[in-house]
Amino acid sequence: METMRLGTYVNGNTIVVMYTDGTKIRYVRTGQKPAPEYPESIDLKLTNRCELGCPMCSEQSTPDGTHAVLNDLPSVNDSIIDSIKPYTELAIGGGNPLTHPQLEGFLWYMHSRNVICNLTVNAVHFMDNIALLKKLCDRKLIYGLGISVPTAIPDRLIPALKDFPNAVIHTIAGVTPPSVYDHLADHSLNLLILGFKTKGKGYDYFLKNHVATNLYDLSDCIKDMRSRFKAIAFDNLAVEQLNLRDIFPDEFDELYMGDDGDFTMYIDLVAGKYGKSSTHPLRDIDAGTVTELFQKLKEDAEEIKPMEIGEVIDGLDYCLSTGKCIGCANSEGRMVATCRPLVENALRLLKEKNN
């Protein structure tokens, strides 16, 4: 597939050029750092409905989960949606976004405004909706199709992918077993490894399964895995949990696209919340436009309180009782990764609390 320029736009002090293969290049004046006015990409939750009941579901989605309220499309007048800038990359998810009754109209509306929509669905839902998804991709209503394969590969998934050159397989660090990676490997697939979220059902899952051990095991084999996929990318949570800075010291700057909130944000249109990412502290939507929300995240960064001591300790129960290093909270209160100094910090907090 020939790579073409999708669009060029100015965002703050940065010129951004996007290509059809997903490549994005930022240009700034020498000596300046990019300072975007609005997000380059938004993680958008459109529904909390999903019938699969996965045991690690960080969204706690349910078969009767709520959909985001969208006004009649295409005359959308929701100010948040209308303020999404052209060429913003929208990563639409849920729940199962395919259950939203207005999904297709929403995609048409975004397409008419040159917003680049990507959709993430579970592999089970992908297999059940191949014709619909093919139509949405062919019409460029969806550019990137994320197919989540957390624990098992449905029959015939890999042959079905040949009609979806824009597909990216999503796995979850600490959950997806080595056998699944092995099955997926050597088929020239694009892979996105997501970090493990301890929110929602994830916390219980974390305690009852071998997530921490699996994270370490994945860290150990990630270098070898790279040659077996067309490309492997990571979200920021996985970057931290797998210690990629240490594993790829020379390439790390190329791998890392910036901290959450630098160029990206999360909007939950179901609950009316937003944040730097879905694992950061969320706040009520308290402004009328995406640009205003994005700027507020930057302005208010100092005000975000670290996680309460009790929450840190709860999150580390398993770690402390087993002596294994598993979870911690960074300065913004996000449950992240697996490093000894932060466990020691948690032990110190525990002692302080008990004194």
Site for ligand SF4 in 112-131 (CB under 6 A): 122
DSSP bridge partners of 120: 146
Q: Which of 289, 284, 256, 288 is nearest to 38 (CA)?
A: 289
- Interface pick for ligand SF4 out of 61, 264, 278, 338 (rule CB under 6 A): 61
Of the pair 17, 152, the CB lying nearest ligand SF4 is at 152
Site for ligand SF4 in 275-334 (CB under 6 A): none
The HSE-up count of residue 33 (CA atoms within 13 Å, CB side) is 4
- Does position 95 interact with ligand SF4 (CB under 6 A)? The reply is yes
R_g of the chain, CA atoms, integer Å: 20
- Does position 16 interact with ligand SF4 (CB under 6 A)? The reply is no
- Interface pick for ligand SF4 out of 94, 261, 275, 315 (rule CB under 6 A): 94
Burial 341-351 (b: 16+ CB within 10 A, else e): ebbeebeebee
- Does position 195 interact with ligand SF4 (CB under 6 A)? The reply is no
- Does position 152 interact with ligand SF4 (CB under 6 A)? The reply is no
DSSP states of 241-260 as a string? HTTHHHHSTTTHHHH----T
What does the DSSP 8-state code read for residue 150? S
- Does position 43 interact with ligand SF4 (CB under 6 A)? The reply is no
- 47-55, 212-220, 262-270, 284-292 -> range binding ligand SF4 (CB under 6 A): 47-55
**φ/ψ (deg, to 5) at 118:** -120, 150
- Interface pick for ligand SF4 out of 42, 57, 115, 232 (rule CB under 6 A): 57
- Does position 53 interact with ligand SF4 (CB under 6 A)? The reply is yes
Of the pair 57, 212, the CB lying nearest ligand SF4 is at 57
Q: How many CB atoms lie within 10 A of CB 139?
A: 12
Of the pair 45, 111, the CB lying nearest ligand SF4 is at 45
- Does position 59 interact with ligand SF4 (CB under 6 A)? The reply is yes
Alpha-carbon gap, residue 210 to 233, rounded angstroms: 23
What residue ranges bind ligand SF4 (CB under 6 A)? 50, 52-54, 57, 59, 61, 94-96, 122
